[in-house]
Amino acid sequence: MPTNVVIVDDHALIAKALSSLVQCFDQYEVLYEVSSGEALMQRFQLGMVPDIILLDIHMPHMDGYQVARWVKNNYPQVKILALSMNEKEEAIAKMLRNGAGGYLLKESKPHELRMALDSLVEKGYYYTDYITSQLIKNLSLDPIQSPEEMLGLSERERTFIRYSCSDLSYTEIADKMCVSPRTVDGYRESVFQKLDVKSRVGMVLKALKMNLGDL
């Protein structure tokens, strides 16, 4: 079964060029192209839901950030690859926070687009070295404030994070902290919210970047 792709870009020539390029990739098929977030929503409501969206950021009325957030809230199984000329870390971080699984500059080469699509299918995300470096910049903290202070982490939550960076299961972490598994579930949900992550892997990666834990 091919992986279905939809292209959302208000520039018709770019959308057509992307469509032709993706159609050349084995195992990928373009379902349709639309020029706005509103048009995408209409197609989704008709049941025309793809596996991957190639999403432009700068569009009139409903921009890529809003579209990504809507898709994430309503169709979380759909993977999003953001496409933009904007290489600023703020734009990258905002797009990833809003649900994109990857970010690709429009000046990228065709083989990079193929790599991004393959990575989204296989891993669920696509982060280049450049994107990772920009994210780290965006996570830079005020030196006057510690990460714990900025995020409002309690001592118990900090302990939970440190244990989570190990190979301990959540049940083993509960034993280490002398609390019930339900209490650990509460720590997990609170920490996920404060770190703005959705998984243990995401939590560990962000904790390591912010020096909140060690492998």
Cβ atoms within 10 Å of 203's Cβ, excluding its own: 23
**153 is written with which tokens?**
């982490």
Residues 147-209, CATH architecture: Orthogonal Bundle (1.10)
The pLDDT assigned to 149 comes to: 66
The pLDDT assigned to 70 comes to: 93
The pLDDT assigned to 139 comes to: 57
Mean per-residue pLDDT pooled into runs of 10, the chain (215 residues):
94 93 95 95 95 93 91 93 81 86 89 94 83 62 56 87 91 94 92 89 86 72
How many Cα atoms are found within 13 Å in the side-chain-facing hemisphere of 33? 17
The pLDDT assigned to 116 comes to: 93
**Which DSSP symbol is given to 9?**
-
The pLDDT assigned to 138 comes to: 60
The pLDDT assigned to 146 comes to: 63
* Cα 112 from Cα 100, distance rounded (Å): 17
Contact 2/49 with Cβ under 8 angstroms? no
**Domain ranges in the chain?**
3-138, 147-209
CATH class of the domain defined by 3-138:
alpha beta
pTM of the complete model: 0.62
The pLDDT assigned to 141 comes to: 45
**Residue 89 contacts by C-beta under 8 Å, 6 or more apart in sequence?**
134, 135, 137, 138
User: What DSSP letter does each residue of 122-181 carry, written as one string?
Assistant: HTS-B--HHHHHHHHHHT---TTS-HHHHHT--HHHHHHHHHHTTT--HHHHHHHHTS-H
